[in-house]
Amino acid sequence: MQTRFHLTWGSRLFNVVNYTFLIALSLLCVLPMVHILAVSFSSSSAASAGLVTLWPIDITTKSYSFILSNQKFLNAMVITLERVLLGTTLSMLLIVITAYPLSKENASLKFRTVYAWFFVLTILFSGGLIPWYMTIKYVGIMDTIWALILPGAVPVFSVILLLNFFRSLPKELEESSFMDGAGYWTVLWRIYAPLSLPALATVGLFTIVGHWNSWFDGIILMNSPDNYPLASFLQKVIVGVNMDLLSSQDIQTLSVISDRTTRAAQIFVGALPVLLVYPFLQRFFMKGLILGSVKE
């Protein structure tokens, strides 16, 4: 027997307002990227005159040819890919092995609450920029890829998100595994990790985006512009053109093509990898964010 649900006038109005708001919000997020893409494919004269809106004028790929032949841009891209690969791998490992013991009760891990608050306090209070810089300098990792990875290798927000997800898993799974002779490492990697894919995907996405978009640490910790990650390189070139990052041939090319189209092309190429990764993790993202944020 089928039951038909009739929406009231108020429910229909709510749906209309809700969908209208969500569509408008989506357009606010998408249209700037569409505009940047249109500018990057437009001619120098059209972009400089401000004629480009959401569709390229006098379509050309000169800006992309310029940035893809720019060795310093490609070098910055390689450094960022290396940073994302090493940083995400290390962070995910440390996050998992930190969140798992902190998800236990005090009876299983003595002073568990003290340890948890120790991590939470690092979110509320910071040592400051100067101690942070001096610590990295005296450790001896300045101007290396590890200066971009190690200081933020354990993001506490991600640890809290994952430990709450672990606490939501049935305790009987762990107890039955112990009865079968499994140890803590076996339970973590053979049971907890496979069941936590939504939370791990969420944490992984946060980590990837964080490494990809981080620009301030690259400028502060890298003594040579040749060691800049992509975000730092783009910040120097786009926010304020740094001639040290451009060769004489590049400067000649910029006199022919518009710096606006070149900047737009660099922004789009810089954002493209994250845009390609996100759809594959999106189905896990919301589930992991919601489940991991609720503490039982």
Give the per-residue pLDDT at 292. 46
Of 97 and 181, the one with more pLDDT? 97
Q: Of 87, 89, 86, nearest to 200 (Cα)?
A: 89
Predicted confidence (pLDDT) per residue in 263-273, tens digit: 788 777 877 77
- Residue 244 confidence (pLDDT) above 60: no
Whether 199 shows a pLDDT value over 80: the answer reads: yes
Share of the chain above pLDDT 90, in %: 23
Topology at the third CATH level for domain 64-292: MetI-like fold (1.10.3720)
- pLDDT of res. 134: 92
What is residue 151's predicted lDDT score, i.e. its pLDDT?
Answer: 92
Share the mean pLDDT of the chain.
81
∠ CA 109-110-115, nearest 5°, is 85
What is the average pLDDT across 222-250? 72
In this predicted model, what pLDDT tens digit does every residue of 3-54 receive, in sequence order? Answer: 555 678 878 888 889 899 999 998 888 888 888 888 888 877 787 777 788 8
Over pLDDT 70: what percentage of the chain? 84
pTM (2 d.p.): 0.74
Q: Which of 162-166, 191-195, 240-244 has the lowest mean pLDDT?
A: 240-244
Burial of 219 (0-12, 13-18, 19+ CB in 10 A): middle
Give the best-scoring range by mean pLDDT among 81-90, 107-116, 228-237: 81-90
Which DSSP helix (H) or strand (E) runs through 80?
A: helix 71-102
pLDDT band of 91, cuts 50, 70, 90: very high
Tens digit of pLDDT for each residue in 58-67? Answer: 888 877 887 7
Task: Give the residue extent of every domain in the chain.
Answer: 9-62, 64-292
CA distance 287 to 271: 24
| Number of neighbouring beta carbons within 10 Å of residue 87 | 24
Q: Alpha-carbon distance 296 to 281, whole Å?
A: 25
For residue 57, give the 3-state DSSP assignment. Answer: coil
Highest mean pLDDT among 65-69, 96-100, 109-113: 96-100
* Higher pLDDT among residues 98 and 201, named by residue: 98
pLDDT, average across residues 74-87: 92
